[in-house]
Chain A
Amino acid sequence: MAEEILLVGRGLTKRYGGVTALADVDIELRAGEVLGLVGPNGAGKTTLVDLISGAQTATAGELTLRGARLTGPASRRARAGLARTFQYPQLALELNVRENLLLGRAARRHATLWQMIAGVFVGMVRPRMAADDEFVRAIADELGLGGLEREAGDLTLGEQRLVEVGRALGQDPLVLLLDEPFAGSDARGVAGIAEVIHTVRRRGHAVILVDHNVDLVARLVDRIMLLNQGRVVFDGDPGACLSSPQMQRVYFGSGADDDEAGDESAGAEVQGVRS
């Protein structure tokens, strides 16, 4: 199967005043591919996700999705086929799990101004549709998530992340960006998220998975990009990445350019690599 290239980023750069968070990063993502994005704190992982999703605007560089240029606010990119989760879960805490999971599907029906206006009247006439409930239930089953009428604010952090991942899956994205989805998750949560990654891959779409836990990421992805201080220092096979000199340098800090920001977490991750 000749895998189509879904997402291409060239020369992605983000500077905040004098600080360069991301410097000239190239990224390529094929259909059905799962890409792991690892690196210490401050390496630029979330910045890269933000530049792709449109949450921040790039200082330089350009992006294409299936050959079409990807520009504008996050909402336009979402309609083009991107979905993402956040490092700090962005859920409506007073809404229940079912409603939070419905957001992605509901958003698709309210994309234009006219749909937003019509949605007022449609919503008054038909507030709840059986098809929506079934859709949400299917996602919840896939995630292994019960208690759909619980308020999102009552969930554990791990469950909130699971809901967020499910919400993003509900957008049926071409490219799913997961920003540290495993933080605070238990084994069941990890299994649920792994299942979602599998589903997206099976649909022939792609996933970018950001996480600190290199060991866990390596087991789930086809390819790893290692970022350090805003630059890509390794891009290739997960197994090769774990034993690469770049990995040693970034996480053991044996090189001359050891990072200051990521020392604390790097220690934890080194253990993950060794075990």
Chain B
Amino acid sequence: MSAENLRPRPAPARWDLRRVPGIGGLFLGSLAAALIMFWVGSDGYRQTLVTSAVTYALIALGMYVPYLMAGSLSMAYSAYAGIGGYAVGLVSTRTGLPLAVAWLVGPIVAALVAVLLGLVTRRLSGFFLAAVTLLFGMAFSAFLIDAEPVSGGSGGLGNLRPLNLFGWTPSHYQVVLGSVVVVCVIAFLLDRLRLSPWGVIVRTMRDAPRAVEAAGVRVPVLNLVALALGAAIAAVGGALFTYSAGSITPDTFTLNIVFLAIFMPLIGGAGTPWGAVAGAVLAVELTLNFPAFQASGTLLLALGVLVIMLLAPRGVLGYADRLRVRTWALLRKEPHGG
């Protein structure tokens, strides 16, 4: 999808829509989202599926920035999503504040926690970083169970208030639709960020951190900013899910989600954030909605990842893009051939 953005192009003229970076991805992504929402309709189960896909997608999008752009695999994303979720839960049950406050506080707190964890683990990379952040994720869910006065213990927080925007209470369908829009907007913005000067520096940090340092950017500091951004996005995912589900427990966001989120960009295509979204949709389809194999969904997903890695190393979107380029080439050749 995003390959349009990689093609050479002259300096953008003003308000030529085709030259807006990331617009191709947004167009196709929105189209797919619209089709999915049409398919969902008023079916409650399908709405739940979409909510799950939205949450997976946002966690995978959150990991996209530090993992696929900056190259550091932090695995604490179950905790960040949990922070977003508990922000909604706590604001809803413990305070009289509007829920909108939770949407702000959750991502901010998650970002701060990510910065602290990043500071502590700043000397680690690769496997060791993954292991330590994984432990943090486990410790966080243990903390939620123990801190019963605050978190409600293993029972979690339930009976959450519905959203009330100046007297308007959206229906469940509207909430799901809103969540899908949030995913599309964040994927679009991240796609643009990837192409921007900031994205160029962060992506260079992955392969050539010495070059970034030699160019005048303090690599550990920029890494923290990338981690904070990723955590904030994952917290939005946690908040959306908790709001839709109406409750949250320590088991809502487990390490399982983090492992799935690592695979999602690989399935969908690591070249663009939309790959993470496509991967999330496929993961939900395979693990939760595959009629014949519902019990062995995760196994099916694992097999699916292997098959996709063998056939399309650049993911589903990368494969589709290659097909598109080839088809174009064929269409262009035809007049000459005939």
**Judging by beta carbons under 8 Å apart, are A130 and B196 in contact?**
no
Of A59-67, A120-128, A245-253, the one touching chain B: A120-128
Query: Which residues does A use to contact B, with CB under 8 Å?
Result: 53, 55, 73-76, 78-79, 83-84, 86, 90-96, 99-100, 102-111, 113, 116-117, 119-120, 122-128, 130, 132-134, 148-149, 164, 167-168, 171
- How distant is B206 from chain A, measured CB to nearest CB, in Å? 7
Q: Which 7 pairs across A and B sit closest by C-beta, in order of nearness?
A: A123-B196, A106-B197, A78-B216, A130-B11, A107-B215, A123-B198, A119-B198
Query: Is B225's CB within 8 Å of the partner chain A?
Result: yes
**Judging by beta carbons under 8 Å apart, are A128 and B195 in contact?**
yes
**Judging by beta carbons under 8 Å apart, are B198 and A120 in contact?**
yes
Given contacts A107-B215, A107-B217, 15 further A-B contacts (CB under 8 A): A73-B218, A74-B214, A78-B216, A90-B207, A92-B207, A103-B201, A104-B216, A105-B197, A106-B198, A116-B221, A122-B196, A123-B193, A123-B196, A134-B11, A149-B7
Assembly CA distance A149 to B7 (angstroms): 7
**Judging by beta carbons under 8 Å apart, are B219 and A127 in contact?**
no
B6, B198, B207 — which one has the most chain A CB atoms within 10 A of its CB? Answer: B198
**Judging by beta carbons under 8 Å apart, are B12 and A107 in contact?**
no
- How distant is A94 from chain B, measured CB to nearest CB, in Å? 7
- How distant is B168 from chain A, measured CB to nearest CB, in Å? 28
Assembly CA distance A99 to B211 (angstroms): 13
Given A53-B214, A116-B225, A119-B198, also A127-B207 (CB < 8 A) = no
- How distant is A140 from chain B, measured CB to nearest CB, in Å? 12
Query: Is B33's CB within 8 Å of the partner chain A?
Result: no
**Judging by beta carbons under 8 Å apart, are A55 and B210 in contact?**
yes
Query: Which residues does B use to contact A, with CB under 8 Å?
Result: 6-8, 11-12, 21-22, 189-190, 192-193, 195-201, 203-204, 206-208, 210-219, 221-222, 225, 229
**Judging by beta carbons under 8 Å apart, are A127 and B199 in contact?**
yes
Assembly CA distance A130 to B203 (angstroms): 21
Assembly CA distance A92 to B200 (angstroms): 9
- How distant is B25 from chain A, measured CB to nearest CB, in Å? 12
With CB as the reference atom, state the residue of chain A lying closest to B216.
A78
- How distant is A20 from chain B, measured CB to nearest CB, in Å? 24
Given A75-B217, A103-B215, A107-B217, also A119-B11 (CB < 8 A) = no
With CB as the reference atom, state the residue of chain B lying closest to A117.
B225
A93, A95, A104, A149 — which one has the most chain B CB atoms within 10 A of its CB? Answer: A95
Binding site secondary structure of chain B: helix
Chain B residues within an 8 Å CB radius of A78: 213-216
Assembly CA distance A22 to B193 (angstroms): 43
Assembly CA distance A53 to B215 (angstroms): 10
**Judging by beta carbons under 8 Å apart, are A106 and B225 in contact?**
no
With CB as the reference atom, state the residue of chain A lying closest to B211.
A90
**Judging by beta carbons under 8 Å apart, are B198 and A110 in contact?**
yes
A100, A113, A128 — which one has the most chain B CB atoms within 10 A of its CB? Answer: A128
**Judging by beta carbons under 8 Å apart, are B216 and A75 in contact?**
yes
With CB as the reference atom, state the residue of chain B lying closest to A99.
B200
Chain B residues within an 8 Å CB radius of A90: 207-208, 210-211, 214
- How distant is A137 from chain B, measured CB to nearest CB, in Å? 9
Partner of B215, one of A73, A116, A120, A171: A171
With CB as the reference atom, state the residue of chain B lying closest to A170.
B215
- How distant is B12 from chain A, measured CB to nearest CB, in Å? 7
With CB as the reference atom, state the residue of chain A lying closest to B208.
A90
**Judging by beta carbons under 8 Å apart, are B213 and A149 in contact?**
no
With CB as the reference atom, state the residue of chain A lying closest to B200.
A99
**Judging by beta carbons under 8 Å apart, are A120 and B229 in contact?**
yes
- How distant is B286 from chain A, measured CB to nearest CB, in Å? 28
- How distant is B207 from chain A, measured CB to nearest CB, in Å? 5
- How distant is A206 from chain B, measured CB to nearest CB, in Å? 17
Chain A residues within an 8 Å CB radius of B193: 120, 123-124, 127
Assembly CA distance A42 to B89 (angstroms): 63
Assembly CA distance A102 to B189 (angstroms): 20
Assembly CA distance A261 to B190 (angstroms): 50
Chain A residues within an 8 Å CB radius of B8: 148-149
Chain A residues within an 8 Å CB radius of B6: 96, 149
Partner of A92, one of B12, B22, B208, B218: B208
Assembly CA distance A106 to B193 (angstroms): 13
Chain A residues within an 8 Å CB radius of B199: 123, 127
- How distant is A109 from chain B, measured CB to nearest CB, in Å? 6
Partner of B211, one of A117, A119, A124, A167: A167
Assembly CA distance A94 to B6 (angstroms): 12
Chain B residues within an 8 Å CB radius of A86: 210-211, 214
Chain A residues within an 8 Å CB radius of B203: 92, 94-95, 99
- How distant is A121 from chain B, measured CB to nearest CB, in Å? 9
Chain A residues within an 8 Å CB radius of B214: 53, 55, 74-75, 78, 83-84, 86, 90, 168
With CB as the reference atom, state the residue of chain A lying closest to B195.
A127
**Judging by beta carbons under 8 Å apart, are B216 and A108 in contact?**
yes
- How distant is B109 from chain A, measured CB to nearest CB, in Å? 17
Chain A residues within an 8 Å CB radius of B197: 102, 105-106, 109-110, 119, 123, 132
